[in-house]
Amino acid sequence: MKTKFSWKKFKLSKTYLIIIGITATLWFLVRVIPKPSRARYPCMQAAAPLMSSFVIYLLAISGSVFSIKKVKQSFRTSKYLIGLAFILLAVLSFSIIIINDTKDSIADVLNPVDDTFPVASNTPIGEAKGLFPGRVVWVQDEDATNEDYIPKSGSNDYWYTDKNVNGIAIEFMLELAILEYAEKDNLEDAWDAIFRSYNKTHGRGDVGYTPGEKIAFKINLTNQSCSDRDRPTRMDATPQLLNAILYQLVENAGVSEQDITLGDPYRQFRLEYRRVVAGTFPDVNYVDGRGAPGVKQTKPSEETVLFFAGKDNNGKTMSSTLPQQYLDATYVINVPCLKTHDEGGITLIAKNHQGSYLKMGEKPEEQYAIAMHYSLPRNNRGSKKYRHTVDYMGHEQTGGKGLIYIVDGIWAGDSWQGYISKFKSDPFNNDYPNSIFVGQDPVALESVCFDILFQENVMDDDKGNYPVSFKVEVADHLMQCASSEYWPDGLTYDPERDGIPLKSLGVFEHWNNPTDRLYSRNLGTGDGIELKYFKNGVSGISSNKVENINIASPNPFSISTKFVRPVSISKNSDLEIYNLNGQVVKTFSFNNSDVVEWNGSNENNILMPDGLYVYKIRDNINNSLATGKVILRK
Cβ neighbours of 27 (radius 10 Å) = 16
pLDDT of residue 580: 74
Q: Mean pLDDT of residues grouped by 10 in the chain (634 residues)?
A: 51 63 73 58 56 62 60 62 59 52 44 78 98 97 92 94 90 92 92 98 97 98 90 96 96 97 94 88 96 95 96 92 98 98 96 95 90 94 97 98 98 95 95 97 98 96 92 98 97 98 98 96 97 69 54 92 92 90 88 94 92 87 82 84
User: How many residues does the structure list for the chain?
Assistant: 634
Q: Cβ(215)–Cβ(259) under 8 Å?
A: yes
d(CA 313, CA 311): 7
Nearest to 309 by CA among 351, 372, 239: 372
d(CA 346, CA 387): 13
Please report, to the nearest 10 degrees, the dihedral formed by the alpha carbons of residues 201, 190, 243, 347 taken in order: 40
Please report, to the nearest 10 degrees, the dihedral formed by the alpha carbons of residues 166, 167, 168, 174 taken in order: 110
Q: Cβ(46)–Cβ(32) under 8 Å?
A: no
pLDDT of residue 393: 98
Please tell me whether the overall predicted TM-score, pTM, comes out greater than 0.95 for this model: no
pLDDT of residue 90: 55
pLDDT of residue 56: 62
Please report, as a single letter, which amino acid is at residue 206: D
Cα–Cα separations (whole angstroms), residue 563 to 201, 230, 555, 568, 588: 46, 41, 10, 14, 10
d(CA 200, CA 191): 14
Q: Cβ(338)–Cβ(435) under 8 Å?
A: yes
Pairing of strands 561-564, 595-598: antiparallel
Please report, to the nearest 10 degrees, the dihedral formed by the alpha carbons of residues 437, 443, 449, 455 taken in order: -150
pLDDT of residue 536: 65
